[in-house]
Amino acid sequence: MNVLVTGGAGYIGSHAARQLHTDGHGVVVFDNLFRGHRAAVPDDVPFVLADILDTDVVEQTLRKYAIDCVMHFAALTYVGESVEQPLAYHHNNAVGAVSLLRAMERADVKRIVFSSTCATYGEPATMPITEDTPQMPINPYGWSKLYVERVLLDHAASHDAFTFAALRYFNVAGCATDGSIGEDHDPETHVIPLLLLTAMGKREHFTIFGDDYGTPDGTCIRDYVHVEDLIDAHVLVMNSLQPGDQRQYNVGTGQGVSVKQVIDAAKRITGVDLPVQPGARRSGDPPQLYANADKIKHELGWVARYTDIALTIETAWRWFKDHPDGYRGR
C-alpha cells in the first residue's frame, strides 16, 4: 500500500514512517519541518517539504505517488500553548485537516487514519475512559482535534466509499527500541524527556506542575503508551479498514501512572537522584486520564506490550544517552 505520512518528520510520524517502510509499504513523508526533523526520515523514503494548508501541493503529492491511504499526524500538540495561542491551533489542526481532505477528495484518495487525542474527552466523570465517554474538551488543542473528528464523520456521510479511523491517543512515550530514532522537541514539554534531560544535566531541575490534585499522591495521572505500540495499532487499523468504515479507537495501556511514579521510575533507570521542584498547575490539565482500550483489543487483537513505565523510560533513556543533542547531533 502507498501511504502518505503527514507530519512524518515528527516524533510519532517518524516512527510510523519507519515501521511502514520496514513492512514494505510505499511511504512518502510530508512535513513542513516546523517542529519535525529531516534526519528522522529514512534516506530512501521520499520527502516532501510543504504544509498541509497548501491544498494544491498535497493533491499533487497524492497523485504523483498514487497514494492509497493517509496517516495524518501533522498538528500542533501542546496543551498549554493551545490555551495561549488558540487561533494557531484551530488554523493548523482543524483548517489544515480540511485542506488535506479537500486534496484527498480531488485525488480520489478514500482512506485516512487520523491522529486524534484523549484530550477530546476533557475531564471525564469516571475512569477508565471508553470510546463512548462524552467528548467535552477543556482546551483548544482538544477542541481542534474533536472538530476534525466531526469533519471526518460529516465527510463520510456524503461519500459512501470514504473510510477513516480516529485513534485517540493517551500520553505517547518512549523511543525506537533499537535506538535509531527518538523524541526531540523544541520546546520540550513532555514529562519523560524533561526528566531525562534533567538527568543529563541539561536542565537544572524538573518541575511538577501541580501536586495538589485530587489523586492519591496529588500529581496528575496519565496513561503512557509506548510509541512503537501506538504505531502497531496504526498499522493494524490501516490494514483492516474496509470501504465505508468509520471507526474510533482509544489507544493506551489502560493503566494510570502519576507524575511522581514516573519520577521514581526515571530515577531508577538513570541512576540519578533528580532534583525536583513543585510548580503551579498548567491551564487545561485534567487531574487524570487513562484508557479503556478493550474495543481495539476485541476488534483487532491489539494490546500494549509496554505496560511497565520503567521499560518505556528505558527505551527513551537509550536514545537520549546516545543522542545528547537530539537530531542536531546527526
Hey, where are the domains in the chain?
A: 2-173+224-251, 191-222+254-289+306-329
Global pTM reads 0.96
Catalytic residues: 141
User: How many whole angstroms separate alpha carbon 316 and alpha carbon 228?
Assistant: 12
The pLDDT tens digits for 184-228 are 998 998 999 999 999 999 999 999 999 999 999 999 999 999 999
How distant is the alpha carbon of residue 280 from its chain centre? 25
Burial of 184 (0-12, 13-18, 19+ CB in 10 A): buried
* pLDDT tens-digit readout, 157-193: 999 999 999 999 999 999 999 999 999 998 998 999 9
Q: How confident is the model at residue 313 (pLDDT cuts 50, 70, 90)?
A: very high
Question: What's domain 2-173+224-251's superfamily in CATH?
Answer: NAD(P)-binding Rossmann-like Domain (3.40.50.720)
Question: For residue 284, what pLDDT band results from cuts at 50, 70 and 90?
Answer: low
CA neighbor of 226 nearest in space, from 113, 315, 131: 315
Q: What is the pLDDT of residues 29-39, one digit of tens each?
A: 999 999 999 99
With contact defined as beta carbons under 8 Å apart, do 93 and 87 qualify? no
CATH number of 191-222+254-289+306-329: 3.90.25.10
